[in-house]
Amino acid sequence: MSHSLDANHETLDVLRSFLTENAHILGNLVMEVEQCLQESRPNAKEQAVRVLHAYSLQLTDLSLFFEGEVLEIYPRPVDLVIVVRDVVRMLAARCEEAPCRVSMPPSPIWIRGDSERLFRVFLILAEMVCAHAAYGEHEMFIALERGEGLRITLSNTGPAISEERIALLGSPGHRLHQDLPHEGWALLYAQQVVAAHHGTIQYTQSPAGGLHVQVSFS
Amino acid sequence: MLFHIDRLPAEATRLLRLFLAGSSHTLSNLVMDLDYAAQEGKPTDMEMVLRLLRAYSVQLADLPLLMDEQPLSLYRRPLDLAAMLRAVEGSMRARFERVPCALRILSDPAWIDGDETRLYRVIWLCVENANLYTTYIRDDGEVQLHLEVGACVSVLIDDNGPGVPALYLAQLGTPSLRLYDEIPGSGWSLFYARCVLEAHGGALAFEESPLGGLRVRITLPHAVASTA
């Protein structure tokens, strides 16, 4: 078996990292859908189709990004409490390995945005924090708070991560640990979506020693 | 290795764009099929969805290995290719309402030793290609699937789409080859199909179809048990 791909090493490395990351995302997606169905959760099929749709949207958006286009969203009222709750529900299967505590106000928190893209972004971030926590048998925490703006925090209690590595998050090809899958392409997308909602994402060390991700909307 | 997104080689950007467009097309078609089934009041076949997603995930994981010319680790078991062809045709039924698909199985069952997930993906990719190209080019598109058994097991996929100029037929199945930029695709599907079939001791070939478009010929050896 041989082929003649006319591309340099860096090009091949870029493709490898992209393919590996997306194979992993799809593998997770299959696991999530299977879990939904096995547990006979209400609306399991709708949830599964939603995750699939959001991932498809991510790929379309990234493809437009590489065409040089700026991501445009068509804002409408979105209740962030529902979005984050749906993400936590999708992660339920994996939270057996990294228990997840959730703190959210009961009332709706409305922003103007794109619910499917925000759902995908919080799923990407939560999956990363969860995988990192599960790697070291730690816990994770998700909180939604309203102050001057809106803040969604996703953090874990470890394993420890250096500032140098944190600074690299969001770079395509990056992975938190050698044993964990790449997450850079997905974080690049998360960054674009949050920016299109006039928000920011910050990655820091958590006070408990792990990773702390904060998404803020003004 | 980290990449600076603003300084990617132009070729990497081009290939990524193709991959993204192709992947997004694959998934959005799947969502469209599910929406269609829901609108028609048909039950959502989640087993089929999972089968497709699993197979696609395996394809994405395989491609970096194939780019490095590493062998695939196949999980072979006896498979009935006739049943697989029916499953592929069934999974695309929504799309075949626009482009009629005739399925002709001349040997039932047709046993081979193969990796079910990968071969399902390969046949699905070839049939989807036929459907896609035919749909894009004409309103009276037609796809025909034939399965026949002789010295080996053969699947023929014919369409009446635009076809491929003779000059390019031999190049089909090389990585990153795109003939029609306006039609979504990554340019890697047929490369993947060729590698998977060759790993099974089979082959992928292309010729002019009697329908006027492209004929894809998949050949695989018989199952060892059926020839013993």
> Which of A78-92, B49-63, B85-99, B106-120 reaches the highest mean pLDDT?
B106-120
Tokens read off for A165:
């590595």
pLDDT given at position A6: 61
Q: How far apart are CA B56 and CA B72, in angstroms?
A: 15
Tokens read off for B109:
């069952």
Residue of A nearest to B10 (CA): A11
pLDDT given at position A2: 43
Tokens read off for A4:
């003649």
Instruction: Compute the half-sphere exposure of residue B124: CA atoms within 13 Å on the CB side of its CA.
Output: 25
Predicted confidence (pLDDT) at residue B219 exceeds the cutoff of 90? yes
Query: pTM value?
Result: 0.85
| Residues in a beta bridge with B101 | B143
Predicted confidence (pLDDT) at residue B101 exceeds the cutoff of 70? yes
**A4, A8, A14, A117: best to mutate for the B interface, most B CBs within 10 A:** A14
pLDDT given at position B147: 95
More confident residue, B86 or A50: B86
Reported confidence tier of residue A26, pLDDT bands at 50, 70, 90:
confident
Cβ contacts of B55 within 8 Å, gap of 6 or more? B117, B118, B120, B121, B124
**Which whole number is the average pLDDT over A7-11?**
77
Interaxial angle between packed helices B46-67 and B189-199, expressed in degrees from 0 to 180 and rounded to the nearest 10: 80
Give the number of other Cβ atoms within 10 Å of residue A100's Cβ: 20
* Chain B closest-CA separation from residue A23 CA (Å): 5
* Chain B closest-CA separation from residue A51 CA (Å): 10
Cβ of B20 and A63 within 8 Å?
yes
Q: What is the pLDDT of residues B6-48, one digit of tens each?
A: 778 888 887 888 788 778 878 887 787 777 777 777 777 778 8
**Which whole number is the average pLDDT over A148-176?**
87
Q: A52 CB near a chain B CB, below 8 Å?
A: yes
What percentage of chain A reaches a pLDDT higher than 90? 33
Instruction: Spell out which residues of chain A touch residue B117, defining contact as CB-CB under 8 Å.
Output: none
pLDDT given at position A119: 94
Instruction: Spell out which residues of chain B touch residue A15, defining contact as CB-CB under 8 Å.
Output: 12, 15-16, 19, 63-64, 67
Cβ of A1 and B49 within 8 Å?
no
More confident residue, A45 or B119: B119
Predicted confidence (pLDDT) at residue A1 exceeds the cutoff of 50? no
pLDDT given at position B113: 96
**B14, B17, B27: best to mutate for the A interface, most A CBs within 10 A:** B27
The structural domains of chain B, ordered by start, are 9-220 (3.30.565.10)
More confident residue, B60 or A9: B60
- Which of these, A165, A187, A189, A186, lies nearest to A177 by C-alpha position? A165
Contact B124, B84 (CB under 8 A): no
**Which whole number is the average pLDDT over B156-163?**
93
Average pLDDT value over all residues in chain A = 85
pLDDT given at position A125: 94
Reported confidence tier of residue A201, pLDDT bands at 50, 70, 90:
very high
Give the SS3 label for residue B98.
coil
Nearest to B11 among A7, A19, A55 (CB): A7
Predicted confidence (pLDDT) at residue B183 exceeds the cutoff of 60? yes
Q: Which residue has the tokens 């069952």?
A: B109
Q: Which residue has the tokens 């002019």?
A: B208
Q: How far apart are CA B57 and CA A33, in angstroms?
A: 14
Complex ipTM more than 0.85, yes or no:
no
Average pLDDT value over all residues in chain B = 86
